[in-house]
A and B are shown apart, each in its own frame.
Chain A
Amino acid sequence: MYRISLAYSFHRAARAGLLIAGLAVCTAATVAAQEKPYFVTYSHDLEEPGNLEIETKTALARPQGSDRFGATATELEYGVKAWWTSELYVDGQTTPADSTLLTGFRLENRFRPLMREHWINPVLYVEYENISGADKTALEVVGHDGQADLAERNFNSRREHQHEGEFRLILSSNARDWNISENFIAEKNLGHDPWEFGYAVGATRPLKTALSVRECTFCAEKFTVGAESYGGLGDTWTLTLRDTSHYIAPLVGWDLPGRMRVSFSPGFGLTGSSLDRVYRVGVAYEMPQLGSLFRGAKGSVR
C-alpha cells in the first residue's frame, strides 16, 4: 500500500515537473544568469540587487531501518546590494509512513567584504535557524550529524527545538569558465551544545562554453555540470572524524527559459553514519528588479 502511494506521488510529481518545464519552454525566451547547481556548497555569486529568487530544494532519502522521507526548503533570496544577499527559508518534510509537518525557518545573510573580483573571493555567511529536530532538509552537514538523526519518528523529533547560529567562510573562484568553491562551516546551538564544524567543496562548469546564437532549451550550453562533497568535522567536545557523515554528489543544472532553473543531484554516502543515497532536486524562478515595482522608476529615460 505504502509503495503504491509513494509511486503514485512520484508519478504525480514527475507529471507536474514536466508540465512546469513545458510551460517554461513556451514562455518568452529570456534566460537567467548561469547559477551554480550546488545544494550545500555556496559560491561567491550573490543575487543581483533588486532581484528576488524563489527556489525549492528537496531532499529524498531513506535512513537505514527507517522510512523514506522528502524534505523541502522553500527559499526567498533577495539581492539587497550587489555585495549583500538576504534569504528566508521555510522548511518542511513528509514521511509517508509517519506525518507531514513544517519544521521551521532560517534567516540567512551573505556579504562580500571585498568589492573587487579576486583569484579567491571570500564571502561571509551568517544564518539564524529556528527549526525542530524533525528538520531533514540537510542543507548542511556538521559535527556528528548522521542518518540516525534522520531516522527518528516525527512525533519524538519535533519536540526538540534548535535555535542555532551558523557561520560560513565561503571561498570561491571563477576561472576559465570553472567555478571552484570551498565552505568552512561552524554551527552553534544557542543553548548548551558545543560548536559543530563541517565543510562543503564543489566545482562546476557549463557543459559547453562556446558562444551560441541560437535560441534553444535542450542544447549543451544550458546545462551546468559538476560535483560537490560535504560532511561533518566533529565538534568542540569531540573534535574527531569518528561517526561523521560525508557525501559526494554529482550535480546537473539546467537553465530553462523564463528565468527558471532546475537542478538535480544524487548524493552518495561515504561512511557508515551517512545516508546510503540522498537525491536532491531544486527548482528556481527569478523575478527581476522586484524592488523597482515598489519604488517606481527613478528619473526618465534620456
Chain B
Amino acid sequence: MRGPALVLLAVILGLGNAASAQHDGHFSSVPAKDHARQNPLGAKPDVLAAGSALYRSHCAECHQPDARGDGGKKPSLRTPEVRTATDGDLEWFLRQGDLRHGMPSWSSLTQAQRWALVAYLRSLQ
C-alpha cells in the first residue's frame, strides 16, 4: 500500500518540477493564443484607477508601492522584460503565477480585475 502511494507522489512531484522548469523564462512558455491577446478593457482612466487599487491591495505588499521591488527576492516590475511583454503575456503570468519562486497564482481574481492590473502595470513602464 505504501509503495504505490510513494510512486504516485513521486510522479506528481516530478510533473510539477517538469512544469516549473518550462516556466523559467517567465514569458517564454506563454501559449501563442494567450501571447496574442490584447487588453479588452484598454487603458481608460477608470480602468487604471481600478488597477491601481488592485495593485495596492494585492501586489504592493511584495513588489512595493512604487513597483520597484525590495532589491531581494521580490522583483521590480519596471523592467525591460515587463515592458516588452504583450498584454496577453502579463495576464497569462498573473493567472499562472510562479509558485516555485514565490509568486502566487491570481486565478482567483476575476478576468476583469486581472486585465485592470495589466493596464496599470503598463502605465508604470
Q: Chain B interface residue count: which class? A: 35 or more
Beta-carbon contact of B96 and A117 below 8 Å: yes
Q: Which of A142-190 contact B (CB under 8 A)?
A: 174, 176-177, 179
> With A and B bound together, what is the CA distance between A46 and B99 in angstroms?
11
- Minimal beta-carbon separation of B69 from chain A (angstroms): 7
B72 at the interface (CB under 8 A from A): yes
> With A and B bound together, what is the CA distance between A300 and B66 in angstroms?
13
Q: How many A residues touch B, CB cutoff 8 Å? A: 44
B109 at the interface (CB under 8 A from A): yes
Q: Which of A11-19, A58-66, A108-116, A269-277 contacts B (4 or more CB under 8 A)?
A: A108-116
> With A and B bound together, what is the CA distance between A34 and B110 in angstroms?
9
* Contact pattern, B 83-116, Cβ under 8 Å of A = 1, otherwise 0: 0000000000001111111111111111111011
Q: Which of A70-78, A99-107, A206-214, A238-246 contacts B (4 or more CB under 8 A)?
A: A206-214
Q: Which residues in B have their C-beta under 8 angstroms from that of A30?
A: 56-57
Beta-carbon contact of A114 and B71 below 8 Å: no
Beta-carbon contact of A112 and B109 below 8 Å: no
- Minimal beta-carbon separation of A295 from chain B (angstroms): 10
Beta-carbon contact of A122 and B12 below 8 Å: yes
Beta-carbon contact of A301 and B102 below 8 Å: no
Across the interface, B109 reaches (CB within 8 A) one of A34, A46, A81, namely: A34
In the complex formed, the residue of A with least CB distance to B56 is A30
Q: Which residues in B have their C-beta under 8 angstroms from that of A302?
A: 68-69, 71, 76
Beta-carbon contact of A300 and B16 below 8 Å: no
- Minimal beta-carbon separation of B82 from chain A (angstroms): 14
* Contact pattern, A 28-46, Cβ under 8 Å of B = 1, otherwise 0: 0011111110000001011
Q: Which of A261-279 contact B (CB under 8 A)?
A: none
Please report the number of residue pairs spanning A and B whose Cβ atoms sit closer than 8 angstroms.
Answer: 115
B43 at the interface (CB under 8 A from A): no
B36 at the interface (CB under 8 A from A): no
10 sample A-B contacts, Cβ–Cβ < 8 Å, listed by A number: A34-B109, A34-B110, A82-B98, A115-B98, A115-B100, A288-B61, A289-B61, A299-B71, A301-B69, A301-B70
Across the interface, B97 reaches (CB within 8 A) one of A117, A213, A300, namely: A117
Beta-carbon contact of B108 and A112 below 8 Å: no
Beta-carbon contact of A209 and B112 below 8 Å: yes
Q: Which residues in A have their C-beta under 8 angstroms from that of B95?
A: 117
Q: Which residues in A have their C-beta under 8 angstroms from that of B16?
A: 112-115
* Contact pattern, B 14-51, Cβ under 8 Å of A = 1, otherwise 0: 01110110010000000000000000010000110110
Q: Which residues in B have their C-beta under 8 angstroms from that of A36?
A: 108
In the complex formed, the residue of A with least CB distance to B95 is A117
> With A and B bound together, what is the CA distance between A112 and B68 in angstroms?
28
With A112-B99, A299-B70 as contacts: A82 and B104 at CB distance below 8 Å: yes
A49 at the interface (CB under 8 A from B): yes
- Minimal beta-carbon separation of A44 from chain B (angstroms): 8
Across the interface, A211 reaches (CB within 8 A) one of B9, B47, B62, B98, namely: B47
Beta-carbon contact of A301 and B111 below 8 Å: no
- Minimal beta-carbon separation of B9 from chain A (angstroms): 8
Q: Which residues in B have their C-beta under 8 angstroms from that of A116?
A: 19-20, 23, 96, 99
Q: Which residues in A have their C-beta under 8 angstroms from that of B101?
A: 82
- Minimal beta-carbon separation of B40 from chain A (angstroms): 11
With A209-B110, A209-B111, A211-B112 as contacts: A301 and B100 at CB distance below 8 Å: no
Q: Which residues in A have their C-beta under 8 angstroms from that of B72?
A: 298-299
> With A and B bound together, what is the CA distance between A114 and B12 in angstroms?
7
Beta-carbon contact of A113 and B64 below 8 Å: no
- Minimal beta-carbon separation of B92 from chain A (angstroms): 9
Q: Which residues in A have their C-beta under 8 angstroms from that of B107?
A: 117, 174
Beta-carbon contact of A174 and B70 below 8 Å: no
Beta-carbon contact of A301 and B20 below 8 Å: no
- Minimal beta-carbon separation of B110 from chain A (angstroms): 4
With A34-B108, A48-B104, A115-B100 as contacts: A213 and B70 at CB distance below 8 Å: no
Can you name 18 extra interface pairs (CB under 8 A) apart from A114-B19, A115-B100, A206-B110? A30-B56, A33-B108, A35-B108, A48-B104, A49-B102, A50-B62, A82-B100, A82-B103, A115-B99, A116-B99, A117-B97, A122-B12, A209-B111, A211-B46, A211-B113, A212-B50, A213-B47, A302-B68
